[in-house]
Structure 1
């Protein structure tokens, strides 16, 4: 997902969980060219006319977007805000959203609190990655406003860790909204 903003040097891409898997879709052996099986929403009505006619929820209704989509938007907004403030140092930084941190079972067994985000330094293949763990952040909040503030604070904290500066100097409203 690309950022809709017009700044040519800054892009935000959310991590695609299927990106590590092979992108090619292969057909079963013995059939013609590679064909992708149709999903549930792509199927037509059944032969007796009792199947789905259209989408159950219209895109104009608030329930159309999932919690995951709304969380992704919060991360994108926070990343864009930081880029508007800092600019060049944040070029090439990827912001990823994951459901839960890796090794969560072991953390719970040890009694360690689960991290809300993580920072991975740049490698030879890709730039630095800041990952937010959606379910951990959502469980720490009670309302939608708190969620927006907490997402922004986690993005600020991980970006400050990456840049090696205190979070208070990175964003002037860090932790002042509570």
Structure 2
């Protein structure tokens, strides 16, 4: 298991603004073999229907615990609401349909990047895929949807290598018209 530090660089009331920031960051990153992961807690049948249109074979389990229902057991998610969705390794083109699917519910999309490139003029070395991620928290300010809100937060992930993490976060925030808020969360991955 590894982890990265996720720094909030932009919080926007307008979802299209947050998505524009994500696109600007993806234009900087190496995404040749990138993928996206999705996470959400789904509470309503309507939201479940929208999410299943985007991810018909989504991986999920009942919020009360897997013993109360899961995709692994072949249960019907509509009978087990609320459910937790954690779906990994999807193609990049699935991100925006998923962003729209939860409507007002909190969700997160994480882009697994190939790398954050070196930025010689800023003294930054490349950061490998193991620590290069980007997350958009929709209707939430944190990575895990524990702080639902009506705005959306963009987080950049990086590993502190040679003390350049904060410099990289500031550099990336500047490129999307944001600013490093000082908020950093640990993101653990299997």
TM-score by length of 1: 0.23
Higher relative contact order (CA 8 A, sep 6+): 2
Asked which structure has the greater CA Rg, the reply is 1
The TM-score, its normalising length taken from structure 2, stands at 0.23
Bigger share in strand = 2
